[in-house]
Amino acid sequence: MATAIFYGSSTGNTEDIANRISEHLGNLDVYDISNQGLDPIKDYDKLIIGLSTWGDGDLQSDFEDIWSDFEEYDFSDKTIALFGLGDQDGYEDEFVNALGTMYKVLKAKGATIIGFTSIEGFEYNESTAEIGNQFCGLVIDEDNQNDLSDERISSWISDIRSEIL
């Protein structure tokens, strides 16, 4: 079994980050869930899942469309690293909350979650993705800190490489 990246993207930013992560890890398989859904997940024991937060902390629409199926999936044999995109200036009270929602469901469904990152360098009021003074995955703010994205991706990949490949 291998590793693959699954993402949902409305504006293309999450897709771009998914592809950049794939390149750093040796060109992993990358799936847009709006096209493939959840079916390919069964073929991988290690996953990287990415999504953005919309509105008042909502899931990205591709994940909303399959969320009931996602909540029923058994992730107990999966190692998963998460990444989320958000806007800390425009949505400081629900910054990357979709990442927190994803984490809670995956944890409840038995997944082993890796790749927590520091909250340092971000300015926000609240986030459900903050677990024990860390984010439950890689956090990217392409709207306000796109100049830090490459560095954050590289650092995160260094941390998870041995566990995700």
Q: What is the CATH number of domain 2-164?
A: 3.40.50.360
Facing residues of 59 across strands? 53
Percent of the chain at pLDDT > 90 equals 99
Neighbouring residues of 22: CB distance < 8 A, sequence distance ≥ 6: 5, 28, 29, 30
Domain residue ranges in the chain? 2-164
Q: What is the pTM of this model?
A: 0.97
Structure tokens at 150: 């490459």
Structure tokens at 153: 């991706």
Burial class (CB in 10 A: 0-12, 13-18, 19+), 99: buried
Percent of the chain at pLDDT > 70 equals 99
Phi, psi (degrees; rounded to nearest 5) at 27: 60, 65
Phi, psi (degrees; rounded to nearest 5) at 91: -135, 55
pLDDT of residue 1: 66
Helix (H, G, I), strand (E, B) or coil at 148: helix
pLDDT for 112-130, tens place per residue? 999 999 999 999 999 999 9
Which parts of the chain have pLDDT scores under 70?
1
